[in-house]
């Protein structure tokens, strides 16, 4: 039994934060599914940028599409839909065997729409119809504009992966948006039992940001510097564990239990951004420290390989919740506001995906102009 299967025994599913056409075509994806290493796939603009610009996997499709005179963005979604459909078909047996618990493949709406609720919803519906797979999830960012789009997408029967969640406050709004969507759907007399959603709560970037602020205090030699000891590399896990506590409270509430009686599923927390950015930290820390029931961890290739090789497994997610709160309180006393940190990370996250998308579209435009 490999480590990811052991995780599943404890209630956590590993999804793969990577997609590339060669992996779909050469059988690697299928083999990873068969071995029980991955139970779903997530994608984002950065992942597709690397897949399309750093390989020749897509040349054949680009040559065919080049005759149609499409915009670079339309070309991208043609390529992405092909990959997502193929990945969804590979995962379909797992989706069916798990009774729609796993086997999902995620495709993100354009990051250019992050502040436009109406356009986000329109594109979510278009992609849902184009891909036409029951095990698809449409990724919608947890921006202020994204929240009403999430509610409306859920109400329309679309599976949603809510992405770019950093703060506990925004996470509460995401769970509320999901429940509102289910409530709207129930009021319309529509079934709830086939609706699935995950809430992608980003982890390692929090430590990167907070650690940099702590280091500045140390370097400044301030009176506060001595109080930074023991706080490096602690904020992200503390933040995520408190998010899980919030999840437990919401999905055992009377509000949700009414929906559950009608077939509704919980919106599982999905730990995202779980590769280790600081080489001083254990390379699987953001997997090992966040293991618990009804959760997903989406991991990039190197983190998956590391965890399969030497990951240590224990039900860690609910450990020392009091200590988690104390960590965030200690940071606040040092002048490091998690509200400010997570707001900055949301802005940066949206911008990073938009920048990656711009680079991708420019690369597609260049290749089409050159005749591929």
Distance between CA atoms of 49 and 76, rounded to whole angstroms? 10
Q: Distances from the Cα of 315 to the Cαs of 36, 147, 287, 298, in angstroms?
A: 20, 31, 11, 17
Strands (E) in the chain, as ranges, are 12-16, 40-41, 104-108, 136-141, 160-165, 197-202, 268-272, 295-299
Mode of pairing for the β-strands spanning 197-202 and 136-141: unpaired
Q: Is 297 helix (H, G, I), strand (E, B) or coil?
A: strand
Of the listed 139, 213, 280, 339, which one is catalytic? 139
Q: Is 139 a catalytic residue?
A: yes
Helix axes 338-369, 235-250, angle to 10 degrees: 100
Of 256, 217, 221, 238, nearest to 336 (Cα)? 217
Residues catalogued as catalytic: 139
């Amino acid at each position: 039994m490999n480590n990811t299967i052991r995780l599943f025994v404890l209630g956590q599913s590993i999804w793969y934060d990577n997609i590339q056409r060669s992996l779909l075509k050469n059988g690697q994806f299928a083999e990873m599914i068969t071995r029980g290493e991955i139970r779903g796939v997530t994608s984002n603009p950065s992942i597709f940028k690397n897949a399309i610009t750093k390989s020749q996997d897509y040349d054949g499709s680009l040559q065919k599409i080049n005759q149609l005179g499409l915009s670079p963005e339309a070309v991208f979604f043609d390529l992405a839909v092909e990959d997502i459909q193929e990945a969804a078909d590979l995962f379909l047996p797992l989706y069916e065997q798990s009774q729609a618990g796993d086997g999902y493949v995620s495709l993100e709406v354009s990051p250019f729409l992050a502040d436009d609720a109406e356009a986000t919803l329109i594109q979510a519906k278009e992609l849902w119809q184009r891909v036409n797979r029951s095990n698809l999830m449409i990724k919608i960012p947890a921006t202020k504009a994204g929240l009403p789009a999430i509610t409306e997408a859920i109400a329309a029967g679309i599976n949603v992966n809510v992405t770019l969640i950093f703060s506990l406050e925004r996470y509460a709004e995401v769970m509320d948006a999901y429940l509102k969507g289910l409530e709207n759907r129930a009021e319309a007399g529509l079934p709830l039992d086939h609706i699935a959603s995950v809430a992608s709560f980003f982890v390692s970037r929090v430590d990167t940001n907070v650690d940099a602020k702590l280091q500045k205090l140390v370097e400044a030699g301030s009176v506060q510097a001595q109080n930074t000891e023991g706080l490096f590399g602690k904020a992200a896990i503390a933040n995520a564990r408190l998010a899980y506590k919030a999840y437990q409270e919401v999905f055992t509430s009377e509000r949700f239990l009414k929906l559950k009686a009608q077939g509704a599923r919980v919106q599982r927390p999905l730990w995202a951004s779980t590769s280790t950015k600081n080489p001083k930290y254990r390379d699987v820390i953001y997997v090992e420290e966040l293991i618990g029931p009804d959760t997903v961890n989406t991991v990039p290739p190197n983190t998956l390989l590391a965890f399969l090789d030497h990951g240590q497994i224990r039900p860690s997610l609910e450990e020392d919740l009091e200590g988690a709160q104390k960590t965030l309180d200690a940071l606040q006393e040092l002048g490091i506001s998690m509200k400010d940190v997570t707001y900055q990370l949301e802005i940066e996250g949206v911008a990073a995906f938009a920048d990656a998308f711009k680079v991708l579209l420019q690369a597609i435009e260049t290749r089409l102009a050159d005749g591929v």
